[in-house]
A and B are shown apart, each in its own frame.
Chain A
Protein backbone atom coordinates (compact mmCIF):
# COMPACT_ATOMS: atom_id res chain seq x y z
CA UNK A 1 0.00 0.00 0.00
CA UNK A 2 1.30 3.47 -0.77
CA UNK A 3 1.18 6.27 1.77
CA UNK A 4 -1.24 8.12 -0.53
CA UNK A 5 -3.70 5.28 -0.23
CA UNK A 6 -3.45 5.33 3.50
CA UNK A 7 -3.97 9.09 3.76
CA UNK A 8 -7.11 8.76 1.75
CA UNK A 9 -8.41 6.00 3.97
CA UNK A 10 -7.46 7.75 7.18
CA UNK A 11 -9.65 10.71 6.33
CA UNK A 12 -12.76 8.56 6.03
CA UNK A 13 -12.76 6.80 9.40
CA UNK A 14 -15.73 4.71 8.47
CA UNK A 15 -14.57 1.18 9.01
CA UNK A 16 -11.57 -0.15 10.86
CA UNK A 17 -10.02 -1.93 7.91
CA UNK A 18 -10.02 1.21 5.80
CA UNK A 19 -6.98 2.24 7.80
CA UNK A 20 -5.16 -0.80 6.54
CA UNK A 21 -6.36 -0.58 2.96
CA UNK A 22 -8.68 -3.52 3.61
CA UNK A 23 -5.84 -5.79 4.65
CA UNK A 24 -6.52 -7.93 7.66
CA UNK A 25 -3.08 -9.47 7.96
CA UNK A 26 0.40 -8.09 7.96
CA UNK A 27 3.65 -9.73 6.90
CA UNK A 28 4.53 -10.06 10.58
CA UNK A 29 2.27 -12.36 12.60
CA UNK A 30 2.07 -10.89 16.08
CA UNK A 31 0.24 -12.24 19.12
CA UNK A 32 -1.78 -9.62 20.98
CA UNK A 33 0.65 -9.63 23.90
CA UNK A 34 3.72 -9.04 21.68
CA UNK A 35 5.68 -6.09 23.05
CA UNK A 36 7.08 -3.57 20.61
CA UNK A 37 9.10 -0.40 21.00
CA UNK A 38 10.16 2.37 18.69
CA UNK A 39 13.55 2.06 17.05
CA UNK A 40 15.97 4.97 16.70
CA UNK A 41 14.86 5.27 13.11
CA UNK A 42 11.24 5.36 14.24
CA UNK A 43 12.02 8.17 16.68
CA UNK A 44 13.85 10.09 13.97
CA UNK A 45 11.06 9.75 11.45
CA UNK A 46 8.08 10.20 13.77
CA UNK A 47 7.40 13.74 12.50
CA UNK A 48 6.99 12.49 8.93
CA UNK A 49 4.34 9.84 9.70
CA UNK A 50 0.61 10.12 9.26
CA UNK A 51 -1.72 10.32 12.24
CA UNK A 52 -2.24 6.65 13.23
CA UNK A 53 1.32 5.56 12.56
CA UNK A 54 2.71 8.58 14.37
CA UNK A 55 0.51 7.80 17.36
CA UNK A 56 1.84 4.25 17.54
CA UNK A 57 5.51 5.21 17.21
CA UNK A 58 5.13 7.94 19.84
CA UNK A 59 3.34 5.61 22.26
CA UNK A 60 6.00 2.93 21.77
CA UNK A 61 8.86 5.13 22.94
CA UNK A 62 7.97 3.09 26.05
CA UNK A 63 7.55 -0.63 25.29
CA UNK A 64 3.88 -1.55 24.72
CA UNK A 65 1.97 -4.68 23.82
CA UNK A 66 -0.28 -4.75 20.75
CA UNK A 67 -3.26 -4.98 23.11
CA UNK A 68 -2.13 -1.84 24.93
CA UNK A 69 -1.64 0.04 21.66
CA UNK A 70 -5.15 -0.99 20.64
CA UNK A 71 -6.59 0.14 23.98
CA UNK A 72 -4.74 3.45 24.29
CA UNK A 73 -5.25 4.55 20.69
CA UNK A 74 -8.85 3.23 20.46
CA UNK A 75 -7.99 1.09 17.49
CA UNK A 76 -9.43 -2.34 16.79
CA UNK A 77 -7.00 -5.08 17.71
CA UNK A 78 -6.71 -6.39 14.17
CA UNK A 79 -6.01 -2.92 12.84
CA UNK A 80 -3.32 -2.31 15.44
CA UNK A 81 -1.72 -5.62 14.42
CA UNK A 82 -1.54 -4.72 10.76
CA UNK A 83 -0.20 -1.20 11.35
CA UNK A 84 2.38 -2.44 13.88
CA UNK A 85 3.38 -5.20 11.47
CA UNK A 86 3.98 -2.59 8.77
CA UNK A 87 6.02 -0.41 11.12
CA UNK A 88 8.17 -3.41 12.08
CA UNK A 89 8.74 -4.27 8.42
CA UNK A 90 9.78 -0.66 7.81
CA UNK A 91 12.19 -0.75 10.75
CA UNK A 92 10.37 1.88 12.79
CA UNK A 93 9.35 -0.53 15.56
CA UNK A 94 11.17 -3.52 16.98
CA UNK A 95 9.86 -6.64 18.76
CA UNK A 96 11.06 -9.93 20.21
CA UNK A 97 8.11 -11.70 18.68
CA UNK A 98 9.30 -11.54 15.10
CA UNK A 99 12.19 -13.87 15.81
CA UNK A 100 10.44 -16.44 17.98
CA UNK A 101 7.57 -18.77 17.18
CA UNK A 102 4.43 -17.40 18.78
CA UNK A 103 2.21 -20.45 18.71
CA UNK A 104 4.31 -22.59 21.02
CA UNK A 105 3.64 -22.61 24.74
CA UNK A 106 6.34 -21.22 27.02
CA UNK A 107 9.03 -23.80 27.80
CA UNK A 108 9.84 -25.05 31.30
CA UNK A 109 12.71 -22.57 31.72
CA UNK A 110 10.46 -19.59 30.98
CA UNK A 111 7.69 -21.01 33.19
CA UNK A 112 10.21 -21.31 36.00
CA UNK A 113 10.98 -17.60 35.66
CA UNK A 114 7.27 -16.75 35.67
CA UNK A 115 6.82 -18.86 38.81
CA UNK A 116 9.71 -17.12 40.59
CA UNK A 117 8.36 -13.74 39.53
CA UNK A 118 4.88 -14.47 40.87
CA UNK A 119 6.24 -15.79 44.16
CA UNK A 120 8.19 -12.55 44.60
CA UNK A 121 5.06 -10.39 44.32
Chain B
Protein backbone atom coordinates (compact mmCIF):
# COMPACT_ATOMS: atom_id res chain seq x y z
CA UNK B 1 0.00 0.00 0.00
CA UNK B 2 1.53 3.32 -1.03
CA UNK B 3 -0.33 5.47 1.50
CA UNK B 4 0.27 3.34 4.56
CA UNK B 5 -0.24 4.91 7.96
CA UNK B 6 3.11 6.29 9.13
CA UNK B 7 4.60 5.32 12.49
CA UNK B 8 4.48 8.29 14.88
CA UNK B 9 7.51 9.38 16.89
CA UNK B 10 7.56 12.29 19.28
CA UNK B 11 10.05 14.80 20.63
CA UNK B 12 9.18 17.24 23.39
CA UNK B 13 10.45 20.82 23.31
CA UNK B 14 10.62 22.16 26.84
CA UNK B 15 11.93 25.26 28.58
CA UNK B 16 10.72 28.38 30.26
CA UNK B 17 8.08 30.81 29.06
CA UNK B 18 8.92 32.66 25.82
CA UNK B 19 12.27 30.95 25.36
CA UNK B 20 11.59 30.20 21.68
CA UNK B 21 9.81 26.81 21.81
CA UNK B 22 7.19 27.78 19.24
CA UNK B 23 9.82 29.29 16.98
CA UNK B 24 11.89 26.13 17.27
CA UNK B 25 8.94 23.92 16.24
CA UNK B 26 7.85 26.29 13.50
CA UNK B 27 11.30 26.33 11.90
CA UNK B 28 11.25 22.66 11.02
CA UNK B 29 7.55 21.74 10.87
CA UNK B 30 6.06 20.70 7.51
CA UNK B 31 2.78 22.29 8.51
CA UNK B 32 1.74 25.52 10.14
CA UNK B 33 1.98 24.57 13.83
CA UNK B 34 -1.34 23.49 15.33
CA UNK B 35 -2.76 24.06 18.76
CA UNK B 36 -4.49 21.48 20.89
CA UNK B 37 -6.19 22.12 24.19
CA UNK B 38 -6.49 19.84 27.16
CA UNK B 39 -8.67 20.28 30.20
CA UNK B 40 -6.71 21.52 33.16
CA UNK B 41 -8.78 19.81 35.79
CA UNK B 42 -8.11 16.21 36.72
CA UNK B 43 -10.39 13.80 34.94
CA UNK B 44 -12.35 12.92 38.05
CA UNK B 45 -12.95 16.54 38.94
CA UNK B 46 -14.28 17.25 35.49
CA UNK B 47 -16.83 14.47 35.87
CA UNK B 48 -17.86 15.67 39.30
CA UNK B 49 -18.66 19.07 37.89
CA UNK B 50 -20.80 17.78 35.04
CA UNK B 51 -24.02 18.53 36.84
CA UNK B 52 -23.17 22.18 37.32
CA UNK B 53 -23.75 23.73 33.91
CA UNK B 54 -23.68 27.26 35.24
CA UNK B 55 -20.11 27.20 36.54
CA UNK B 56 -17.39 28.66 34.37
CA UNK B 57 -15.55 26.58 31.80
CA UNK B 58 -12.79 24.44 33.25
CA UNK B 59 -9.34 25.91 32.69
CA UNK B 60 -7.60 24.64 29.61
CA UNK B 61 -3.97 24.32 28.74
CA UNK B 62 -2.93 24.91 25.14
CA UNK B 63 -0.05 23.13 23.46
CA UNK B 64 1.44 23.98 20.09
CA UNK B 65 2.85 21.24 17.94
CA UNK B 66 4.23 20.62 14.49
CA UNK B 67 5.15 17.60 12.45
CA UNK B 68 7.91 16.54 10.08
CA UNK B 69 7.61 13.62 7.66
CA UNK B 70 10.76 11.48 7.84
CA UNK B 71 10.38 9.60 4.58
CA UNK B 72 7.04 7.90 3.98
CA UNK B 73 7.05 5.59 6.96
CA UNK B 74 7.78 7.87 9.91
CA UNK B 75 6.07 11.01 11.16
CA UNK B 76 7.91 13.05 13.77
CA UNK B 77 5.74 15.17 16.04
CA UNK B 78 7.25 18.06 18.01
CA UNK B 79 5.31 19.19 21.04
CA UNK B 80 6.08 22.38 22.92
CA UNK B 81 5.43 22.08 26.64
CA UNK B 82 3.11 24.55 28.30
CA UNK B 83 5.39 27.07 29.97
CA UNK B 84 3.98 27.52 33.44
CA UNK B 85 4.78 25.12 36.26
CA UNK B 86 1.15 24.56 37.08
CA UNK B 87 0.76 22.72 33.80
CA UNK B 88 3.28 20.04 34.68
CA UNK B 89 0.47 17.50 34.90
CA UNK B 90 0.44 17.60 31.11
CA UNK B 91 4.13 16.81 30.84
CA UNK B 92 3.65 13.19 31.92
CA UNK B 93 1.44 12.69 28.91
CA UNK B 94 3.86 14.52 26.64
CA UNK B 95 6.97 12.55 27.58
CA UNK B 96 5.23 9.17 27.53
CA UNK B 97 6.87 7.17 24.75
CA UNK B 98 8.85 10.19 23.51
CA UNK B 99 12.28 9.89 21.89
CA UNK B 100 13.33 12.53 24.38
CA UNK B 101 13.28 16.24 25.02
CA UNK B 102 15.09 19.37 23.94
CA UNK B 103 15.32 21.78 26.87
CA UNK B 104 15.68 25.24 25.36
CA UNK B 105 17.62 27.76 27.39
CA UNK B 106 17.70 31.53 27.21
CA UNK B 107 20.99 32.49 28.81
CA UNK B 108 19.47 35.78 29.89
CA UNK B 109 17.09 33.82 32.13
CA UNK B 110 18.83 30.60 33.02
CA UNK B 111 16.58 29.88 35.99
CA UNK B 112 13.52 29.63 33.72
CA UNK B 113 14.64 26.21 32.50
CA UNK B 114 15.38 24.70 35.93
CA UNK B 115 11.95 23.03 36.21
CA UNK B 116 12.32 21.39 32.79
CA UNK B 117 15.84 20.09 33.52
CA UNK B 118 14.69 18.79 36.92
CA UNK B 119 11.65 17.11 35.45
CA UNK B 120 13.49 15.32 32.63
CA UNK B 121 16.21 14.09 35.00
CA UNK B 122 13.68 12.83 37.53
CA UNK B 123 11.58 11.05 34.92
CA UNK B 124 14.59 9.55 33.16
CA UNK B 125 13.72 11.19 29.86
CA UNK B 126 16.71 11.45 27.49
CA UNK B 127 17.31 15.16 26.93
CA UNK B 128 19.74 17.71 25.59
CA UNK B 129 20.13 21.28 26.76
CA UNK B 130 20.07 23.66 23.79
CA UNK B 131 21.14 27.24 24.38
CA UNK B 132 19.12 29.43 22.08
CA UNK B 133 21.33 32.14 20.61
CA UNK B 134 18.81 34.95 20.34
CA UNK B 135 19.63 37.43 17.58
CA UNK B 136 22.70 35.35 16.85
CA UNK B 137 24.20 36.44 20.15
CA UNK B 138 25.49 33.86 22.58
CA UNK B 139 25.76 35.47 25.99
CA UNK B 140 27.23 32.49 27.81
CA UNK B 141 29.45 29.64 26.76
CA UNK B 142 27.74 26.22 26.89
CA UNK B 143 30.27 25.10 29.52
CA UNK B 144 29.16 27.95 31.77
CA UNK B 145 25.54 26.98 31.20
CA UNK B 146 26.32 23.36 32.07
CA UNK B 147 27.95 24.44 35.28
CA UNK B 148 25.19 26.86 36.19
CA UNK B 149 22.50 24.24 35.57
CA UNK B 150 24.55 21.44 37.15
CA UNK B 151 23.96 19.23 34.13
CA UNK B 152 25.92 15.94 34.25
CA UNK B 153 28.70 15.56 31.67
CA UNK B 154 26.99 12.75 29.74
CA UNK B 155 24.12 15.07 28.80
CA UNK B 156 24.84 17.20 25.73
CA UNK B 157 24.77 20.99 26.14
CA UNK B 158 24.77 22.63 22.72
CA UNK B 159 24.11 25.96 21.03
CA UNK B 160 21.16 26.29 18.67
CA UNK B 161 19.21 28.95 16.83
CA UNK B 162 15.48 28.32 16.99
CA UNK B 163 14.91 30.47 13.92
CA UNK B 164 16.93 28.32 11.55
CA UNK B 165 15.86 24.96 10.25
CA UNK B 166 19.40 23.59 9.91
CA UNK B 167 20.23 24.48 13.51
CA UNK B 168 16.97 22.94 14.73
CA UNK B 169 17.61 19.79 12.72
CA UNK B 170 21.15 19.49 14.13
CA UNK B 171 19.74 19.89 17.64
CA UNK B 172 17.27 17.07 17.01
CA UNK B 173 20.05 14.91 15.57
CA UNK B 174 22.08 15.46 18.75
CA UNK B 175 19.07 14.46 20.84
CA UNK B 176 18.37 11.29 18.84
CA UNK B 177 22.04 10.26 19.04
CA UNK B 178 21.94 10.82 22.80
CA UNK B 179 18.71 8.81 23.08
CA UNK B 180 20.41 5.96 21.18
CA UNK B 181 23.32 6.02 23.63
CA UNK B 182 20.86 5.89 26.53
CA UNK B 183 18.84 3.08 24.91
CA UNK B 184 21.98 1.02 24.21
CA UNK B 185 23.19 1.48 27.78
CA UNK B 186 19.82 0.38 29.15
CA UNK B 187 19.76 -2.64 26.84
CA UNK B 188 23.24 -3.55 28.05
CA UNK B 189 24.66 -3.44 24.53
Q: Which residues of A contact B (CB under 8 A)?
A: 12, 14-18, 22, 24-25, 31-37, 63, 65, 67-68, 70-72, 76-78, 94-97, 102-108, 110-121
Contact = CB atoms under 8 A, between A and B. Distances in A.
A15 B5 contact: no
- Interface of B (DSSP majority class): mixed
Contacts of B79: 32-33, 67
B125 to A, nearest CB: 8
A15 to B, nearest CB: 6
Interface in B1-38: 3, 5-10, 28, 34-38
Contacts of B77: 33, 65, 67
Contacts of A37: 5
B36 A70 contact: yes
Chain B residues touching A, range: 35 or more
Contacts of A36: 5
B183 A113 contact: no
Interface string B165-189: 1000100110011011001100101
Contacts, number: 149
Nearest to A63: B5
Nearest to B186: A105
Interface string B54-71: 000110100101011011
Given A15-B50, A15-B53, A103-B97, A78 B38 contact: yes
27 contacts: A15-B46, A15-B53, A22-B47, A32-B36, A34-B8, A35-B5, A35-B7, A36-B5, A37-B5, A65-B77, A67-B79, A70-B37, A76-B60, A77-B36, A78-B39, A96-B7, A103-B97, A105-B99, A107-B183, A108-B187, A110-B7, A111-B179, A113-B73, A114-B76, A115-B177, A116-B70, A121-B169
Interface string B87-102: 0000001101111100
B74 interface: yes
B100 to A, nearest CB: 8
A16 B39 contact: yes
B43 interface: yes
B49 interface: yes
B38 A95 contact: no
Contact of A111 (B28, B46, B183): B183
B6 A63 contact: yes
Contacts of B36: 32, 67, 70-71, 77
A25 to B, nearest CB: 7
B10 A117 contact: no
Contact of B176 (A63, A102, A118): A118
